[in-house]
Amino acid sequence: MSEIRRVGVVGCGLMGSGIAEVCARSGLDVLVSEVAPEALRAGQDRLTTSLAKGVARGKLSAEERDAALSRLRFTTDLGEFADRELVIEAIAENEQVKSEVFATLDKTVTSREAILASNTSSIPIARLGTATSRPDHVIGIHFFNPVPVLNLVELVPSLLTSELTATRAARFATQTLGKEVITAKDQAGFVVNALLIPYLLAAIRMVESGVASTEDVDAGMVLGCAHPMGPLRLADLIGLDTTKAIAESMHAEFKQLAYATPPLLSRMVDAGLLGRKVGRGFYDYSG
């Protein structure tokens, strides 16, 4: 079983940059893509800042930071992914756009043994696999934000994923990246979001209906249930647009009211109040 050394990451937002960072810190050759030069520059800045924080917090040395940076390359052309042995897609939760990326990677990545993986939070992997001519090599490798800090990876093989692909992906996550793996059935939400999203939506409905304030809902779960972060602050961290997209994907599959998007969440997303990444969601982060 060949060891994966050349990794591609499609997308350099919060998740993509985190995935690229842990891969580079693990000694891998990492190529990162974005759709436009300005997005690529923002992603590079995000990576550089994160590595600098790692040094400041004593999590890695200046030499380790420099070595990680030397393993990172950036591009706006997916055509440069031809030699990759594993490509991890980490773009927005939009099934059509993701499927288009997988169709492009199918034509671009030369090795038929290469794994094409998605970091999707909720979209069934089989649908992405069928956008390619190699669905047996397509799998979900779902990381959690912030990727350099949180140790969990959800591994999501579809009905079409080969056993060898699943084994290689698990070995990559555990032995190469040092993550802990849980395996989930290929259905919307997988394990973590199937539990988490109804909880977040219930908290939003509570604020929406006036049962309690944002601060009191969060304080209740932090102080009363020993959660490290309240549900509304967590939704801000995930991104309210991402939270809404995951909920919609799960509601479309299961048709359960627990997954229905609260009107307040829809209005906030429409207004561009997406959470911490834009400076304002349920809380104001501009200060």
- pLDDT at residue 215 above 80? yes
Structure tokens at 59: 């999590």
Report which of 144, 14, 6 is spatially closest to residue 73, judged by C-alpha positions: 6
Residues 145 and 111 grouped into a single domain: yes
Report the first-to-last Cα separation within the chain, whole angstroms.
Answer: 51
What average pLDDT does the structure give for the chain? 96
Question: Does the annotation count 145 as an active-site position?
Answer: no
Q: Provide mean pLDDT across the span 212-236.
A: 98
Residue that finishes a domain, picked among 150, 183, 216: 183
pLDDT confidence tier of residue 287, bands split at 50, 70 and 90 = confident
Question: Does the annotation count 94 as an active-site position?
Answer: no
Residues 18 and 148 grouped into a single domain: yes
Q: Prior bond to 37 cis, omega within 30? A: no
pLDDT confidence tier of residue 1, bands split at 50, 70 and 90 = low
Report which of 175, 176, 153, 4 is spatially closest to residue 84, judged by C-alpha positions: 4
Domain-embedded: residue 286: no
Given the residues 122, 154, 158, 251, the one annotated as active site? 154
CA distance 140 to 138: 7
Domain-embedded: residue 287: no
Specify the DSSP element, H or E, that contains 33.
strand 29-33
Q: Are 137 and 185 in contact (CB under 8 A)?
A: no
Domain-embedded: residue 285: no
Q: Are 7 and 30 in contact (CB under 8 A)?
A: yes
Residues 29, 35, 41, 42, CA torsion sign = negative
pLDDT confidence tier of residue 145, bands split at 50, 70 and 90 = confident
CA distance 220 to 232: 11
Question: Does the annotation count 121 as an active-site position?
Answer: yes
* pLDDT recorded at residue 261: 97
* pLDDT recorded at residue 209: 97
CA distance 280 to 286: 7
Print the domain residue range for 107: 6-183
Domain-embedded: residue 14: yes
Residues 90, 96, 101, 105, CA torsion sign = positive
Residue that finishes a domain, picked among 130, 152, 183: 183
Domain-embedded: residue 196: yes
Given the residues 142, 158, 249, 251, the one annotated as active site? 142
Q: For residue 11, is it left (φ>0), alpha (ψ between -120 and 50) or beta?
A: left
- pLDDT at residue 93 above 90? no
Domain-embedded: residue 284: no
Report which of 122, 277, 95 is spatially closest to residue 195, judged by C-alpha positions: 122
What DSSP designation does 152 have? E
CA distance 17 to 47: 6
Residue that finishes a domain, picked among 165, 183, 201: 183
Domain-embedded: residue 245: yes
Strand ranges of the sheet holding 152-157, from the earlier edge strand across to the other edge: 72-75, 29-33, 6-10, 86-89, 115-118, 138-143, 152-157, 180-183
Domain total for the chain? 2
What proportion of the chain, given as a percentage, has pLDDT over 90? 94
Given the residues 121, 122, 158, 249, the one annotated as active site? 121
Domain-embedded: residue 100: yes
CA distance 168 to 208: 45
* pLDDT recorded at residue 26: 97
Question: Does the annotation count 137 as an active-site position?
Answer: no
Q: What is the CATH number of the domain that holds 161?
A: 3.40.50.720
pLDDT digits (tens, 9 = 90+) for 257-272: 999 999 999 999 999 9
pLDDT digits (tens, 9 = 90+) for 38-60: 999 999 999 999 999 999 999 89
Q: What is the CATH number of the domain that holds 254?
A: 1.10.1040.10
pLDDT confidence tier of residue 66, bands split at 50, 70 and 90 = very high
Given the residues 118, 122, 193, 249, the one annotated as active site? 193
CA 98 to chain CA mean position, Å:
13
Residues 97 and 58 grouped into a single domain: yes
